[in-house]
Copies of this chain bind each other. A is one copy, B any other.
Amino acid sequence: MNFRTLPDGVSAEQFANAISEFSETIGSEYVRVDEATVSEYDDKFPVTDGDEFKGSAVIWPGSTEDVQVIVRIANKYGIPLHAFSGGRNLGYGGSSPMLTGTVLLHLGKRMNRVLEINEKLAYAVVEPGVDYKTLYEAVRDSGAKLMIDPAELDWGSVMGNTMEHGVGYTPYADHSMWRCGMEVVLADGEVLRTGMGGLPGSEAWHLYPGQLGPSIEGLFEQSNFGICTRMGMQLMPTPPEMLSFAIYFENEDDLPAIMETTLPLRIGMAPLQAAPIVRNVTFDAACVSKREEWQTEPGPLTDEAKQRMVDELGIGHWIVYGTCYGPRWQIDKYIEMIRDAYLQIPGARFETNETLPLREGDRASELLNARHELNTGVPNRHSAAVFDWFPNAGHFFYAPVSAPSGEDAAKQYEDTKRISDDHGIDYLAQFIIGLREMHHICLPLYDTADPASRKETLDMTRELIRAGAEEGYGIYRAHNVLADQVAETYSFNNHIQRRSHERIKDALDPNGILNPGKSGIWPERLRNK
């Protein structure tokens, strides 16, 4: 057999034996080594020119038992596995592994059932392959009066997004907070059920996250300590009514005032019941147009081009989107409070999806109504238009976390804008305002077909991470190519966080089989390489 690539230190013969054993136990149609199939899992937005981040084979398990068998065989032959749910978060490397030669374990390919929808207790239980669209449709078709909290794009795996600390936009936006009850295959093939799942006959597995002893679900998020094969997601009961709003601001330097207005409205969980987003004009423009409409020259967008976006799209230099939930009498009061607060900022303009309903050719209405869908539990892929901002566009994420203050927003905006301009790369971003923190989600876009563009954007993103860390801004997730750099920024006490992760890694996965290098956590044999 010819293999595309091999795991480090594994001979072709050894690998062939492992592949045979995988095939015999779970079925040869579910174990693929052919270039055409395996290359489908490469990074869709390739950023390096070498052979990094390539899988050697892909396995499609059909059940938790399959996953158990697979990790046992992987241990026997010393084969690293890159387990992932859907692998659709393209800005973070998609389904590609940290380590070339790793065998891809695509959980969601066949494990894609919604196992339970419980209307009375308001939760669903999903397998790794359930994406937001599938969960939405399953809940809708069940007739349950429950609402999901979609991620930005409907193709994302519910479990994958949650395990990676993804957020949405409804009152259930903090996905980690609302997941409850996991089934995890450990590196030795044993199955762990967390919380009340450990007590036979308990019906509280997906209701309450605790049990006697420590809460270890968080341990499996964004790590390589186990493979989650089942997860409970608590869902919000559908409120009687929902009304979304957009607020448009005239000036780029309104940003600090927007943040200082938002915080007190948000921190009491009312009238802003869910995380609003604060988007820059370029992000909104990229959802409904192509770059060439505004500027054909490369290099940073001119002020004139951005002003034309504002004027012609009928939006603002910054746009706040959000939604109110509840009975109409409450929504009306909340909307009034929100409007009155933001309209203190000179030039601000306020619309709702009632005053600005979807109208053909009105791109501002398209933008607001696409947000209204997401914010009311209807997944879409409206924002995927950014991948067409220019031909062959791909992107990273640079997403520092900070206090949701005007000062922090201004500092981050200025730094990021300046560094972007220096590299001639568009600044395209939104702030998501949680209760006490904001995620500043920046999308450095590059031409994936142009090595120079790739390099420039990678260099810029590395600079952003470095400059941000110096200001005290940490990143909550990282692309494969950036993971080690980001892990390095968490340096308190000689990287005690990473050293602790490594001790747990070595205890739970002594052979270092699972997702080597994930989040900068390497197994002992690959450390300091």
Question: Could you give 17 example pairs across A and B, Cβ below 8 Å?
Answer: A122-B435, A180-B436, A199-B469, A199-B472, A199-B473, A204-B474, A207-B403, A207-B436, A208-B434, A208-B436, A212-B487, A214-B223, A214-B501, A217-B218, A219-B219, A330-B333, A507-B507
Quick check: is A256 within 8 A (CB to CB) of the other chain? no
Closest to A498 in B: B213
Residues of B within 8 Å of A327, CB to CB, are 333
> Which of B191, B220, B268, B437 meets A208, CB within 8 Å?
B437
Interface size class of A (residues with CB under 8 A): 35 or more
State the Cβ distance, A495 to closest chain B Cβ, in Å.
Answer: 8
Whether A212 lies near B436 (C-beta < 8 A) is no
Q: Contact mask A222-236 → B, CB, 8 Å, 1/0?
A: 110100000000101
> Which of B269, B408, B504, B519 meets A212, CB within 8 Å?
B519
A-B interface, 7 closest residue pairs, ranked by CB to CB distance from nearest: A215-B218, A201-B472, A507-B507, A198-B490, A214-B223, A208-B437, A213-B519
State the Cβ distance, A203 to closest chain B Cβ, in Å.
Answer: 6
Quick check: is A270 within 8 A (CB to CB) of the other chain? yes
10 new A-B contacts, CB < 8 A, other than A199-B474, A211-B490, A213-B498, are A120-B263, A190-B499, A191-B493, A194-B497, A202-B472, A203-B472, A207-B402, A212-B520, A218-B219, A504-B508
Quick check: is A491 within 8 A (CB to CB) of the other chain? yes
Quick check: is A478 within 8 A (CB to CB) of the other chain? yes
State the Cβ distance, A135 to closest chain B Cβ, in Å.
Answer: 18
Whether A476 lies near B210 (C-beta < 8 A) is yes
Q: Contact mask A484-502 → B, CB, 8 Å, 1/0?
A: 0011011111001111110
Whether B236 lies near A500 (C-beta < 8 A) is no
Quick check: is A483 within 8 A (CB to CB) of the other chain? yes
Q: Contact mask A49-83 → B, CB, 8 Å, 1/0?
A: 00000000000000000000000000000000000
Whether B196 lies near A401 (C-beta < 8 A) is yes
Copies in the complex: 2
Q: Contact mask A177-212 → B, CB, 8 Å, 1/0?
A: 100100000100011111011111111100110111
Residues of B within 8 Å of A270, CB to CB, are 326
Residues of B within 8 Å of A33, CB to CB, are none
- Given A216-B219, A402-B204, A497 and B176 contact (CB-CB distance below 8 Å): no
> Which of B225, B268, B503, B506 meets A239, CB within 8 Å?
B268
Whether A492 lies near B198 (C-beta < 8 A) is yes
Quick check: is A475 within 8 A (CB to CB) of the other chain? yes
- Given A202-B474, A477-B212, A500-B192, A436 and B123 contact (CB-CB distance below 8 Å): yes
Q: Contact mask A382-404 → B, CB, 8 Å, 1/0?
A: 00000000000000000001110
Whether B214 lies near A218 (C-beta < 8 A) is yes
Residues of B within 8 Å of A402, CB to CB, are 202-204, 207
Binding site for B on A (CB under 8 A): 120-123, 165, 171, 176-177, 180, 186, 190-194, 196-204, 207-208, 210-223, 225, 234, 236-237, 239, 263-264, 267-270, 326-327, 329-330, 333, 401-403, 405, 408, 434-437, 469-478, 483, 486-487, 489-493, 496-501, 503-504, 506-508, 519-521
State the Cβ distance, A180 to closest chain B Cβ, in Å.
Answer: 8
- Given A270-B326, A436-B123, A492-B198, A213 and B222 contact (CB-CB distance below 8 Å): yes
Whether A200 lies near B472 (C-beta < 8 A) is yes
A122, A198, A477, A499: most-surrounded residue (chain B CB, <10 A): A198
Whether B199 lies near A490 (C-beta < 8 A) is yes
> Which of B197, B207, B269, B436 meets A492, CB within 8 Å?
B197
